[in-house]
Structures are given as C-alpha cells and as structure tokens.
Chain A
Amino acid sequence: MSAEGAKRRKSGGGRRREPEAIPAVRVDGLVKEYGEVTALAEVSIDVAAGESIVLVGHNGSGKSTLLGLIAGTLEPTDGSVAIHGQAPDTMAARAMRSWLPDAPVLYDDLTVDEHLRFVARLHGGSGDEPVIDELVERLGLAERRDQLPSQFSRGLRQKTAIAVALCRPFSVLLVDEPFVGLDAAGRAAMLDLLSEAHADGSTVVVATHDPAVLERFDRGLVMSNGELVHDGPTTGLPDWLGGA
C-alpha cells in the first residue's frame, strides 16, 4: 500500500481490519425475476471481509443484477443480502457500502469539486478531506475540478464517478465495469486504487470483462444464465470467459 493510500484511508473515516466472523457480504438463495425472465436463480455467496472478488460472465449472465441487489438498488424476488450482517437498505449498510455502477451517475449542474465535497459530507465527512485532493490528482482531474462533468467525455465522467465513489469511507466496494472509457493512465490509476482499497482491509467486488486484470483478485466468480457456475481461484478464469 502506498503512503498516499495510507494517508487517504486515515482521513477517509478510520477503517481498519479486525477479526471477522460475519461475512462482509452474504448472499443467500438470491432470486431476481423480471416477469417471466429469471435474471438470477438462487445464488448464494459469502464474501469474507477484506477479500477481493472478480465477477465475470457474458452479457446477460446476471453480474450487474447481482451487484445491483448487493448495492440495494434492486429488490430480490426471493432470498436475502446482508452487508456485515445488516440488511442492504439499513443506514449501517449504506454507510459501509460504496457502489460504482457501469454508467457514471453525476449531477449535470455540479462541478467535480462540488460532487466530491457533497458526497463526502453525505457520508459524515467535512468535505475538506485530503483524500479528495489526492483522488483528483491521481485521476488527472486537477485541472478540471471546477468544471461540470456534464461537459466531459465518457472517460472523464468515469474518472469523476470513480473519485466520487472513493472519496468517502467504505468497507465494501462494489464496482461494475470500471475500465469502460478509461485511457491507459486512468486504467492504471483505477487498478492502483482498487488494490489500495483491498490492501487497506476493504472488501472489493468487481464485475468486468477484462481478462487482463483477473489475476489481481483473490477469488473469481463466474456467472452464466443467472447462475453461479464457478467459485474459486482466479487462475483459469480467462477460459471461463471464453467458454462460459
């Protein structure tokens, strides 16, 4: 973990690794149906605190649905989700979980800086944390922090969304397709930030199609047609991506 990363964690809200009995994320018999379509069919997963997970599978395999259910933006048809033992809609779960969806969700009329400060404050910060300056710097947004993301390219909007997701305290980080639209520098920065969050004790769950990053994670899950078809080491995951 870098020195900057350590500094950021401290200012970000005092997260630390402790002995863990309850999983950071528990998914139990989760089912999600849209009318007659079953997007997720009885998926059960336990993710230990501090674990990093990569979620792979073809389009329509159920990755985003699973992440949406853990993030609390979707409601299960059956089964349950718990974040450190808390229901996903509770204040405690919302405080612990940071969710970075595949499409950036940003206000049209707030600048990069205002986004970061307001989101930090919504999560109990002062809005003046050093982590904000650090993220802006590392993601190459320093020159643009007083500009509106609505006028940015897709890649810059994605970088802003990443900064917004990481500028607040969290212990569970959920990320859906983080590398879409990013240039090489942005991609490298994103990978470093994910590694630092993991090294600092946060649980990281990332859904991606990018085979080049799979082995950076502790554990790999493969989804196919709404079912979990593989749960184990990340070695060999590229084969699953080719044939799942």
Chain B
Amino acid sequence: MTAVAVPGVEQTHDAAVDLRATRRRRRLGDTQWGDLAYRVYTTAMVSFTILVLLSGWVGDSQVDAAAVRSVQDVGPAWAGLLLAVALLGGVRSGSRGGPLALEGTDVHHLLLAPTNRSLTLRRPTVGVLGYGALTGLVTMGMVGLLMSQRLPGGPTAWMASGAVFGAAMAALALGSALLTSSRVMPRAVPVLTAWVLALWAVADVAGYRPTAPTTYAGRMLFWPLGSDARAAPLLVLAVAAAVIGTLVVGGLSIEAARRRTLLVGQLRFAVTQQDMRSVVLLRRQLAAERPRNRPWFKVPRSFGRRFPVTTRDLQSVAHWPPIRLLRVAVLGAGAGLAVRGIWQGTTPLILVAGLAAFIVGLDATEPLAQDVDHPTLVASLPVAEGVLMLRHLVQPVIVALLAGVVGLVVAWAVDPAPEVLRVGPVIVVTGALGAVASAAVSVLYGSGQDNSAGVLMMPEVAGPRLVIRTAWPPTVAIIGFLPALAAARARSGTDAVGVAVTVGLAVLVLVAMVFTWVRFRADLHRALAESMGGATT
C-alpha cells in the first residue's frame, strides 16, 4: 500500500485553529465599525419599541384569582406546546444537516482533512448554542417581564423563570438538532419522538388531562405562581442534549452539510430581502424536496389547448412530491383548527390561520413565480403580461380551496356542530382567495419591476415602504379570515352566516382589487416609465 501517515489530532487541530484565527483577524480588520454600531443601535431601538408596545397592549392591572387559576391550568400546556414545537423544529433542522451552517470551504478543507471533526466543529457549535441560548434567554425573559405586569409575583422572579425556560428550550432544541445531525441513532428515533411529543402537547392544549412531559416542563415558566419539581428535568435534559450534541457533532453528514452550505447563505439573503417566495423555494431545496417524475394525474389535451397557462400550472401540481401535498393539507387542517379556535373566542388565532393560508398560497403560486423570474421569456409570449399573470392564479385558487376543504373537514371532525357546515364554506372561499391574493402580492412585489422603484427613494419613504412591503402580503391572507372573526362575534345575537357573508363580500372586493392590480400592474409601470421619459420594455 502507498503509505500516507495520519497526522496527529493536536497537529491538525492547531492548524484549524490558526486558520480560523487568521480569517477572524482579517474580518475584524475589514469591519465597518460605524455600520456595526448603527445596526446595534437600530436593533436596540426596535427591540425597545416592540417591548413598550407590547407592554402597553398587555396592560398592568392585576388579574383576579380566577384568572390566575386559569393561567396555572392552561399556561403550562401552551408553554409546553412552544417547547415541543421548538424541539420538533430542532430535530427537523438536524435531520437536514443543521443547526450548523458551515462554509463550503470549511467543509472541503477542514472536514475532508484528517481532522477530528467534533473537535474542529466545537467552536462554531458552542457559538450556535450560545447565541441560541442567549436569544431564548432574552426573549423569554422579556415575556416573563410582560407576564409580571398582570400576574402576582415580582418582575425579577418572572424574568428569571422566563429566561431560564427560554435558555433551556433553545439549548434542548439545538442540542436535539446536533444529536440528530450527528447520526448517533437512526434519524427516525428523534423525529418520531419529537412528533409524538408535539401531538401530545397539542392534546394537552386542546383540553385533555395535562399528561405531556412538555406540559410539566412548561411549568418552569410559571414558577412565580408555584414551583414544581417536575419541571426540573427540562434543565438536565437541555444541558445533556447540548453537551452530548457538541461532543458528537463530528458525525454529521458531509453531503447534508454541503447542501446546507449552498442554500443557507441564499436563505439568509432572501430573509434580509423579505423575499418570502425565495425563502419557501430554498427551504424546499434544503429539505431535498424534488418534483415527482410520474405525475399524480394527467391534464386532458383538449383542456391544454384551450387553457395552456392553467394546464401548465396544474401539471406543476401533478408533479408535487408527497411531502408537499402533505404540507398543504396539514396547513389547511391547521387553518381549520385555528378558525375553530377563533369561533371559540381565541381571536389571536386569526394570525395562525392567515399565515398558514399565506404559505399554502406561496406553494401554489410557484408557476407564477417562475414566470416572474423570467421576464424576457414572458415578454416574448403573444399575450399581455398582466393577462398571463392573472391566468396563473386559477390553479392556486383551486389548490387553496381544496386545502380549505381539508380545514373544514378537520374543524367539523373536531366539533361536529351545524354552524361549522353553515359558516365554514364562506370562510373556505374568502380564506382561499385571500391566500392566493396574498401570495400573488408577495411574488410580484419581489420582482425587479417593483423592487427597482425603491432604489432612489429617500430613507424616510423607503423605510415605511419596506415595512408595508413585508407586512402587507400576510395581512391580506389574515384579512381573508375576518368573516370567521365577525361570525364568532355575532353568533350570540345576529345570524352568523349573514354576518360572515357580509364581511366576506368586503374581502372579495379587496381580492378583486388585488387581482386588478395583478392584471394592470405591468401596464402601469410601463406608462409611468414612459411619462418619465425612461426606456420601456
């Protein structure tokens, strides 16, 4: 055999440490300290403003004893659900090579070299864990502070319990991600465990007897109302997951790490650009979600000749992988359950329903987004751009309506009341149309035509414009569920169906305005450019 000696672990580790130190020194040398200080300042200001707004919204009058008992009964289950969702998110990230997002160069030069991978990755791993725990600590500490305004117990105690719970939750989620990605056990074990815990936590929230381990762990957040030793294992598990995960991180999949390397950078950029469509697209790639070769169904040729755009869009759905179909169905079911919650008086669930519908819309409008990405191709087609874009919305409406039907069936299965079937169809229609309108706005706002307008704006105009651009699309989806809110408010007196239809008509007017904008948006841009003497395309 041609001999090549395996170098010592210490030797290669020293080289890796020196490499990182050299790069760090160079990065620090290139840092624009003024920009950094400005970013810290704006982040602090935004955080402080949000805290003040939330503080005002929560109020400061102490709740009565009955409300405290209610918080004690229900609160841990919700905190447990938050913990379970964080754990599930961590495990899913780990199954895709997370939570580390290494540079491609580090994967190639450091991990393919004869280094001890766990040792080489220790520093970035500790960094991710530290940042995550700090974020959890600060965020949940603030939540604790807000809770102290209404609940008995001093702010210090509430902040401390919130901070400890938040840090432990982040450490557990990230530690589980590390354990999953390091492949110390078959991937199915942590994934199934996380799903079981999440469903168990949902059952607890839904009002069954509190039995989920996450509910007991959630009591840590409410320690000022009474300590419970059964919450303590959360701390032990969080520390154990983080420590063991750090020790075994070297077992990660190089293939997954490389795929993540390529996509996470783009994903972060898309997030900073508020480009939701790219975020969804890149997440799909990160999850290695590929279209099926064999279509689920075939569109008849005669239909294709008459409606080529809708046919192309339906063919896109026909090639969706099972996981994407499942996701759309689960989001539809989630929206249905959220609407049921709204019906029972939990108004904030309108946000959950709207966001679920928004994601369904983004999934369904992929063919529209692909045409937006290829303006030259669109310009070469013998059809007006606006007409083409409008035709692209037919298939998403069908998909969103089907997802809505799933939601309706789930809501009816959970609560088979006659009102569900009477009011539900109205909400399915407005929710589906709102979902498609919101996704269309998001996709078309992300196009060059609409982006270029902001380049020369003054900061005072560009800032609010950016906020509106980010918030408006999901807001349209949320507006789609206003009939549910109105019907829930009216059900004790007026006819709930009548109210839902009335509010639904207002939603339809909004959707019609959005669709009109889709139809004439390109013409408006062209007319504007011509009036300003610019080039037209």
On whether the two chains bind one another, the answer is: yes
The minimal Cβ–Cβ distance linking B24 to chain A, given in whole angstroms, is 10
Flag whether B109 is at the interface (Cβ < 8 A): yes
Q: Inside 8 A of B294's CB, which chain A residues have their CB?
A: 36
CB of B4 within 8 A of CB of A169, answer yes
Q: A35-B288, A124-B12, A124-B114 are in contact. Are A72 and B1 (CB under 8 A)?
A: no
Flag whether A92 is at the interface (Cβ < 8 A): yes
The minimal Cβ–Cβ distance linking A62 to chain B, given in whole angstroms, is 16
Q: Inside 8 A of A92's CB, which chain B residues have their CB?
A: 6, 114
- Chain A, range 99-142, C-beta contacts under 8 Å to B: 99, 101, 105-107, 109-110, 114, 118-119, 121-124, 127
Binds A, one of B197-205, B229-237, B250-258, B504-512: B250-258
Q: Which residue in B3, B104, B290 is a CB contact (below 8 Å) of A14?
A: B3
CB of B15 within 8 A of CB of A122, answer yes
Q: Which residue in A16, A49, A105 is a CB contact (below 8 Å) of B108?
A: A105
CB of B2 within 8 A of CB of A73, answer no
Q: Inside 8 A of A118's CB, which chain B residues have their CB?
A: 15, 18-19, 22, 109
Q: Looking at B16, B26, B112, B288, which has the most chain A CB atoms within 10 Å of its CB?
A: B112
Q: A105-B104, A105-B105, A105-B108 are in contact. Are A110 and B4 (CB under 8 A)?
A: no
Q: A73-B254, A75-B255, A124-B12 are in contact. Are A18 and B1 (CB under 8 A)?
A: yes
Q: Could you tell me how many residues of chain B have their Cβ less than 8 Å away from some Cβ of chain A?
A: 42
CA distance A106 to B11 in the complex (A): 22
Flag whether B7 is at the interface (Cβ < 8 A): yes
Q: Inside 8 A of B53's CB, which chain A residues have their CB?
A: none
Flag whether B159 is at the interface (Cβ < 8 A): no
Q: Which residue in A35, A101, A114 is a CB contact (below 8 Å) of B321?
A: A35
* Chain A residue at minimum C-beta to C-beta distance from B20: A118
CA distance A17 to B4 in the complex (A): 11
Flag whether B5 is at the interface (Cβ < 8 A): yes
CB of B255 within 8 A of CB of A34, answer no
In the complex, per-residue mask of A161-202: 1 if CB is within 8 Å of any chain B CB, else 0: 000100001110000000000000000000000000000011
In the complex, per-residue mask of B277-313: 1 if CB is within 8 Å of any chain A CB, else 0: 0000000000010101110000000000000000000
A-B contact count (CB 8 A): 130
CA distance A164 to B112 in the complex (A): 13
In the complex, per-residue mask of A190-218: 1 if CB is within 8 Å of any chain B CB, else 0: 00000000000111000000000000000
- Chain B, range 96-110, C-beta contacts under 8 Å to A: 103-105, 107-110
CB of B114 within 8 A of CB of A95, answer yes
Q: Which residue in B1, B3, B8, B255 is a CB contact (below 8 Å) of A73?
A: B255
In the complex, per-residue mask of A11-29: 1 if CB is within 8 Å of any chain B CB, else 0: 0011111101010100000
CB of A122 within 8 A of CB of B12, answer yes
Q: Inside 8 A of B3's CB, which chain A residues have their CB?
A: 14-16, 18, 171
Flag whether A3 is at the interface (Cβ < 8 A): no
CB of B114 within 8 A of CB of A114, answer no
Q: Inside 8 A of B253's CB, which chain A residues have their CB?
A: 75
Flag whether B27 is at the interface (Cβ < 8 A): yes
CB of A123 within 8 A of CB of B7, answer yes
Flag whether B176 is at the interface (Cβ < 8 A): no
CB of A22 within 8 A of CB of B11, answer no
* Chain A residue at minimum C-beta to C-beta distance from B15: A121
Q: Inside 8 A of A96's CB, which chain B residues have their CB?
A: 2, 4
CA distance A101 to B292 in the complex (A): 29
Flag whether A159 is at the interface (Cβ < 8 A): no
Q: Which residue in A50, A110, A203 is a CB contact (below 8 Å) of B22?
A: A110
Flag whether B430 is at the interface (Cβ < 8 A): no
* Chain A residue at minimum C-beta to C-beta distance from B251: A89
Flag whether B115 is at the interface (Cβ < 8 A): yes
CB of B290 within 8 A of CB of A35, answer yes
* Chain A residue at minimum C-beta to C-beta distance from B1: A84
In the complex, the 9 A-B pairs of residues with the closest C-beta atoms, listed nearest first: A124-B7, A121-B15, A171-B2, A95-B114, A35-B290, A122-B113, A105-B108, A91-B114, A94-B114
Flag whether A229 is at the interface (Cβ < 8 A): no
CB of B5 within 8 A of CB of A95, answer yes
The minimal Cβ–Cβ distance linking A228 to chain B, given in whole angstroms, is 22
In the complex, per-residue mask of A50-75: 1 if CB is within 8 Å of any chain B CB, else 0: 10000000000000000000011111
CA distance A50 to B255 in the complex (A): 28
Q: Inside 8 A of B115's CB, which chain A residues have their CB?
A: 91, 94, 122
CB of B6 within 8 A of CB of A91, answer yes
Q: Inside 8 A of B288's CB, which chain A residues have their CB?
A: 34-35
Flag whether B209 is at the interface (Cβ < 8 A): no
Q: Inside 8 A of B4's CB, which chain A residues have their CB?
A: 13, 15, 95-96, 169-171
Q: Inside 8 A of A72's CB, which chain B residues have their CB?
A: 112, 254
Q: Inside 8 A of A123's CB, which chain B residues have their CB?
A: 7, 12, 113-114
CB of B7 within 8 A of CB of A95, answer yes
The minimal Cβ–Cβ distance linking B47 to chain A, given in whole angstroms, is 31
CA distance A34 to B293 in the complex (A): 11
* Chain B residue at minimum C-beta to C-beta distance from A18: B1
Flag whether B374 is at the interface (Cβ < 8 A): no
Can you name 9 A-B residue pairings with CB atoms under 8 Å? A34-B288, A34-B290, A36-B292, A36-B293, A71-B112, A89-B254, A94-B112, A109-B27, A171-B1
Given A123-B12, A124-B12, 7 extra CB contacts under 8 A: A13-B5, A24-B2, A36-B293, A37-B290, A105-B105, A122-B19, A169-B4
CB of A203 within 8 A of CB of B2, answer yes
CA distance A84 to B1 in the complex (A): 7
The minimal Cβ–Cβ distance linking B162 to chain A, given in whole angstroms, is 40
CA distance A202 to B3 in the complex (A): 10
Q: Inside 8 A of A109's CB, which chain B residues have their CB?
A: 23, 26-27, 30
CA distance A92 to B255 in the complex (A): 19
* Chain B residue at minimum C-beta to C-beta distance from A203: B2
The minimal Cβ–Cβ distance linking A67 to chain B, given in whole angstroms, is 13
In the complex, per-residue mask of B75-107: 1 if CB is within 8 Å of any chain A CB, else 0: 000000000000000000000000000011101
* Chain A residue at minimum C-beta to C-beta distance from B108: A105
CA distance A175 to B406 in the complex (A): 52
CA distance A16 to B4 in the complex (A): 9
In the complex, per-residue mask of A138-160: 1 if CB is within 8 Å of any chain B CB, else 0: 00000000000000000000000
